[in-house]
Amino acid sequence: MNAIIVSTLLGVIMMFCSWGIKSQKTQHTIALVGLFVLILSNLAQLNGWYVIDFDTKGMLAFTRYGLYINTLFFLITFIYIWLNGEEIAKFDNQAADFYALFFFILCGASILTSFDNLLMLFIGIEILSIPLYILTGADKKNLFSNEAALKYFLMGSFSTGILLLGITFIYGATGSFHLVEPILRPSDGLPQEQMILSAGLLLVFAAMNFKVSAAPFHFWTPDVYDGAPTVFTSFMATIVKAAGFIAFITIFNSQAKALGYTWILVLSFVIISTLLVGNIVAVFQRSVKRMLAYSSIAQAGFMLFALYGKSSFAQEGIILYSVVYSLATIGIFGVLIKMKENSFEAFNGLAKTKPLLAFVTTIFLFSLAGIPLTGGFFAKYYMLNSLYAAGAGLWLIIIAILFAAVSVFYYFKLVQAMYFTSGEPSMHEVPKKYTYTLLLIAILLLILGAFPSVVFNYLYF
Partner 1 sequence: MNILEILFFALSALAIISAVMVLISKNPIHSVLWLILVFFAISGHYILLNAQFLAIVNIIVYAGAIMVLFLFVMMLMNVKKDKEPQKQLWVKLTGVIAGGSFLTLLIALVKQNTSFQGRDVLLKDGSIGLIHPLGQALFTDFVVPFEISSVLFLSAMVGAVIIGKK
Give the residues lining the site for partner 1 (CB under 8 A).
4, 8, 11-12, 15, 56-57, 59-60, 92, 94, 97-98, 100-101, 104, 107-108, 111, 117, 119-120, 123, 126-127, 130-131, 133-134, 137-138, 140, 192-193, 195-196, 199
Q: Which CB atom, from 152 or from 313, has the smaller least distance to partner 1?
A: 152
CA–CA separation, 69 and 243 (whole Å) = 9
Phi and psi, residue 287, nearest 5°: -105, 135
Q: Which CB atom, from 77 or from 299, has the smaller least distance to partner 1?
A: 77
Q: Which CB atom, from 151 or from 413, has the smaller least distance to partner 1?
A: 151
* Per-residue CA distances from 221 to 264, 268, 276, 443 (Å): 25, 21, 15, 29
Q: Which CB atom, from 177 or from 412, has the smaller least distance to partner 1?
A: 177
Q: Which CB atom, from 168 or from 254, has the smaller least distance to partner 1?
A: 168
Least distance (Å) from partner 1 to the CB of residue 209? 15
Between the CA atoms of 104, 61, 309 and 195, what dihedral angle is there, to the nearest 10 degrees? Answer: -90
Local structure of 7: helix, strand or coil: helix
* Per-residue CA distances from 55 to 1, 18, 117 (Å): 11, 35, 14
User: What's the gap between Cα 48 and its chain centre?
Assistant: 28
Q: Which CB atom, from 74 or from 382, has the smaller least distance to partner 1?
A: 74
DSSP 177-208: -B-PSPS--GGGT--HHHHHHHHHHHHHHHHH
Give 343's strand partners. 287
Omega cis (within 30) before 216 = yes
Least distance (Å) from partner 1 to the CB of residue 322? 23
Least distance (Å) from partner 1 to the CB of residue 97? 5
Q: Which CB atom, from 133 or from 308, has the smaller least distance to partner 1?
A: 133
Least distance (Å) from partner 1 to the CB of residue 10? 12
Local structure of 129: helix, strand or coil: helix
Q: Which CB atom, from 175 or from 393, has the smaller least distance to partner 1?
A: 175
DSSP state, residue 51: S
19 exposed, middle or buried (CB, 10 Å; 0-12, 13-18, 19+)? Answer: exposed
Least distance (Å) from partner 1 to the CB of residue 398? 32
Least distance (Å) from partner 1 to the CB of residue 59? 4
Least distance (Å) from partner 1 to the CB of residue 126? 5
Q: Which CB atom, from 111 or from 256, has the smaller least distance to partner 1?
A: 111
Least distance (Å) from partner 1 to the CB of residue 18? 8
CA–CA separation, 213 and 224 (whole Å) = 11
Positive or negative: CA dihedral 422, 436, 24, 99: positive
Q: Which CB atom, from 168 or from 343, has the smaller least distance to partner 1?
A: 168
DSSP 412-426: HHHHHHHHHS-----
CA–CA separation, 136 and 227 (whole Å) = 7
- Angle subtended by helix axes 394-420 and 288-303, to nearest 10: 160
Local structure of 165: helix, strand or coil: helix
Least distance (Å) from partner 1 to the CB of residue 193? 8
Least distance (Å) from partner 1 to the CB of residue 252? 20
